[in-house]
Amino acid sequence: MGPGPVNAHPRVLRAMSAQLLGQFDPEFTTYMNETMALYRQVFQTRNRWTFLIDGTARAAIEAALVSLLEPGDAIVVLSAGRFGLLLREIAERCGAEVTMVEGEWGGIVTPAAVEAAVARVRPRVVAAVFGDTSTTIAQPMHEIGRICARHGAMLYLDATATLAGMDVPVDEWGADVVTAGLQKCLGGPSGSAPVTISDQAAARIASRRHVEQGIASGADRPAGGRRIASNYFDLAMIMDYWSERRLNHHTEATTMLYGARECARLVMEEGLVDRIARHRLAGEAMRAGLQAMGLTLFGDQAYAMHNVTGIEIPDGVDGERVRLRMRVQFGIEIGSSFGPLAGRIWRIGTMGYNCRQDTVMATLAALEAVLRGEGVRVPSGEAVDAALARYASA
Amino acid sequence: MGPGPVNAHPRVLRAMSAQLLGQFDPEFTTYMNETMALYRQVFQTRNRWTFLIDGTARAAIEAALVSLLEPGDAIVVLSAGRFGLLLREIAERCGAEVTMVEGEWGGIVTPAAVEAAVARVRPRVVAAVFGDTSTTIAQPMHEIGRICARHGAMLYLDATATLAGMDVPVDEWGADVVTAGLQKCLGGPSGSAPVTISDQAAARIASRRHVEQGIASGADRPAGGRRIASNYFDLAMIMDYWSERRLNHHTEATTMLYGARECARLVMEEGLVDRIARHRLAGEAMRAGLQAMGLTLFGDQAYAMHNVTGIEIPDGVDGERVRLRMRVQFGIEIGSSFGPLAGRIWRIGTMGYNCRQDTVMATLAALEAVLRGEGVRVPSGEAVDAALARYASA
């Protein structure tokens, strides 16, 4: 019940125990195409280029930024948490000129501040995190997309922690590249990262296409744009690999693809709307229970993520000892956080396969007992009752 | 029976169906430490820094080169096949000044040519492929290691296609960074890439350490060296994550780690010496059978890899139709190759779980039947008999 990775859905694990297929076996390339079609639905997009990056969520962030940005390009980065800072860090390593628009950790970045920066800097890319797990707060994206459209900037969005748990309507938001990971609301293991790319972004990437010498044919002259600084994260070559041409790049991670495909199948069987409602309800029940226990939620609750909740660690309580008791005595993992929030908040996730009424109830009951064991005065049974009431009224 | 990916060992697939653990759960960090210890044995090294990169084999190559090289650094690259060209391509994208020392595809690069280039260029790094699957030829490495030692260059080695199937004595060769993948002789799926790093290379990498702002503490001042151009492939940060400090970087790919660990456990249970002998014997039996069928082996057989064999496609034979018949009628995949060898050779693998007497026999029998079906005059039964004889004399 931490902020991810969380338990995987058993069907995902079973899918991943299937025997391997060759990367050009027609059965396997059919799975690749099915995976593309499934993730178009999960991302709510018509983007042709919707596929997997073979690495963790952070790999897809880097693939997006290194393929869009070249040294000297301007980028505006929204940040109100650790993963906003990560976007800055990756963009800097791409050699981009980074302008930060920052908000308090626990709050959001105001659209007015973003528009002012974009109007001043005229960036090629605006980058944001939708749902920064470090603070448990989700940045509203509608207005950011409109700002990008008004100023001709491309919008990159990190939806690692929210895809398939909160509403991420990629086309409606006008996002050009959106990336995710399996280990949060998708209910799989980390190691494969879904990405979707708009036609506009794909054209930008194609303008930098340089096929490897060892596999290029005569028709594969380098495009005019500057070669992408990474081979592994060169989205132009990865698109060639996922195209009908199947021009070899890496060797697709077979087992991870089986897992990513099954995650998306489970999402679409449940239905995106129902799945998001399930995550919203579990988050509300968890928060109702935590407040009934007398704890203080962290951050601006108007923008709270559905699927992970921040709680201030009460004064005088050893947060790490509470986490240890939760894990050892109850088999339940909860998280702390990073940087200025390390030791200041706990983070409790309700996502993917772990987003269930029984896990919410067990976590609240366990936390109440552990806090009492640590000498905190906690009302008996009220947390569970409040969460039950929230479920009953759903 | 292609050049990889090949079928995974069933025990690896079972290990990968285990439920996930949190990345900082003591049970999981114990698995991480066990994995480090196991791969030290597989790499025949005492290197402390021996761990996994979360991506395919190509990800580990890029992690090694981007962490060792900064723009303007000189590198000497040995190449006699597609994967030598890949080293050049990746080094160029790192901004390095690349000097190629090339050999014919099907042959090796001579040590004398390497020494001449190294003496002239004084590179920071010499990079080579031990076992280039595109040509099925293995570059002898002892002398290359001695050349690097004489001239103070670091040696990077791509052992993707050979580790745990041929002898890769990392310390004996004096290799500084060696990388691999699971999908060849290790008998697992692609998507996790073992790497080992000498103390000398680790010191070079540490001199470029820049911890992310979102997680750095006061003690984490940037080192003096130039920041590594990639975040995901920053080996200094990945080493922090695999160290006792467990400073968060990516979220370790849980399921792939289970798989990588099981692959190495299987290697050590069988014993490296026995495993390499198994691969040598299967390769010899396969080649004996192919020659008995009247086919011509490709490349300088003095340097043939154990675990993948190149065969010239006979004049007038449609290589792709043979591959199709093999797959559809016999359920056996064999490979073609890339660049100048596309359509000129087939490649038959005998590696990992597929390196067995029964698979060698079935492949030879099937190929004989398919070739006869395609109108090639093939002696009846002699291929299987030759392979049986090779096994009988083992």
Phi-psi sector, B123: left (phi>0), alpha (psi -120 to 50), beta? beta
Radius of gyration over alpha carbons of chain B, in Å? Answer: 22
φ, ψ of residue B368 to 5 degrees: the values are -60, -45
B25 contacts in chain A (CB < 8 Å)? 327, 333
Domain range annotation of chain B = 10-268, 272-392
Of B49, B179, B86, residue with least CA distance to A232? B86
Tokens standing for residue B378:
């093939």
What CATH number belongs to A272-392? 3.90.1150.10
A349 touches B: beta carbon within 8 Å = no
* Angle formed at CA A50 by CA A49 and CA A52, multiple of 5 degrees: 120
| Chain A contact for B320 (CB, 8 A cutoff) | no
Whole-angstrom distance, CA of residue A206 vs CA of residue A224: 9
Q: Say which residues have a Cβ less than 8 Å from residue A220's Cβ, sequence separation at least 6.
A: A211
Q: Looking at the complex, report in whole angstroms how far the Cα of residue B185 sits from the nearest Cα belonging to chain A.
A: 14
Binding residues of A for substrate: 347
Structure tokens at B116: 């001449």
Residues of chain A in contact with residue B134, where contact means CB-CB under 8 angstroms, are 214
Task: Look at the domain A10-268 and name its fold.
Answer: Aspartate Aminotransferase; domain 2 (3.40.640)
Q: How far is A45 from chain B (nearest CA, A)?
A: 26
Q: Which of A160, A190, A195, A348 is best to mutate for the B interface (most B CBs within 10 A)?
A: A190
The DSSP string of A88-113 is: HHHHHHTT-EEEEEE--BTB---HHH
**Cis omega before residue A379 (within 30°)?**
no
- Rounded Cα distance between A134 and A148, Å, is 25
Are the C-beta atoms of residues A174 and A148 closer than 8 Å to each other?
Answer: yes
Q: Which residue stretches of chain A have pLDDT < 70?
A: none
Check residue B219 and give its pLDDT: 79
> Which residue of chain A comes nearest to B234, CA vs CA?
A93
Are B86 and A256 in contact (CB < 8 Å)? Answer: no
Chain A CB within 8 Å of residue B8 CB: yes
Q: Return residues 324-343 of B near A (CB < 8 Å).
A: 327, 333, 338-339
Instruction: Kindly state whether A228 is in contact with chain B, defined as any CB-CB distance less than 8 angstroms.
Output: yes
Per-window interface: B 282-311 vs A, CB < 8 A: none
Interface test with A, best of B28, B54, B211 (most A CBs within 10 A): B54
B249: closest chain A residue by CA: A58
Which residues does chain A have within 8 Å of residue B57's beta carbon, measured at their own beta carbons?
A: 250-251
Strand pairing category for B177-179 and B125-129: unpaired
Going by DSSP bridges, is the β-strand pair B177-179/A345-349 parallel, antiparallel, or unpaired? Answer: unpaired
Verify whether the Cβ–Cβ distance B89 to A213 is below 8 Å.
yes
CB A83 within 8 A of CB A133: yes
Residue B352 backbone class (left: φ over 0; alpha: ψ -120 to 50; beta: rest) = left
Residues 240-269 of A with CB under 8 A from B: 248-256, 259
* Nearest chain B residue (CA) to A15: B17
Interface check B232 vs A, CB under 8 A: yes
| CB-CB neighbors (< 8 A) of A191 in chain B | 54, 191-192, 253-256
- Residues forming beta bridges with residue A178, ordered by sequence position: A157, A196
Answering whether pTM is above 0.95, one says yes
Q: Transcribe B88-138 into DSSP letters.
A: HHHHHHTT-EEEEEE--BTB---HHHHHHHHHHH--SEEEEESSBTTTTB-
Min Cα distance A346 → chain B (Å) is 15
Q: Tell me how close the Cα of B104 comes to any Cα of chain A, in angstroms.
A: 14
* B chain contacts of residue A320, beta-carbon cutoff 8 Å: none
Phi, psi (deg, nearest 5) at residue A97: -90, 110
Question: In the prediction, which pLDDT does B192 show?
Answer: 98
Q: pLDDT 10s per residue in chain B (394 long)?
A: 999 999 999 999 999 999 999 999 999 999 999 999 999 999 999 999 999 999 999 999 999 999 999 999 999 999 999 999 999 999 999 999 999 999 999 999 999 999 999 999 999 999 999 999 999 999 999 999 999 999 999 999 999 999 999 999 999 999 999 999 999 999 999 999 999 999 999 999 999 999 998 888 877 889 989 999 999 999 999 999 999 999 999 999 999 999 999 999 999 999 999 999 999 999 999 999 999 999 999 999 999 999 999 999 999 999 999 999 999 999 999 999 988 999 999 999 999 999 999 999 999 999 999 999 999 999 999 999 999 999 999 9
Q: Which of residues 156-185 of A touch B (CB under 8 A)?
A: 181, 183
Mutation for B interface: A12, A13, A256, most B CBs within 10 A: A256
Q: For residues B227 and B208, is the Cβ–Cβ distance under 8 A? A: yes
CB pairs under 8 A between A and B: 210
Q: Which chain B residue shows the shortest CA-CA distance from A1?
A: B22
Q: What is the pLDDT of residue A220?
A: 87
Compute the radius of gyration of chain A from its Cα atoms: 22
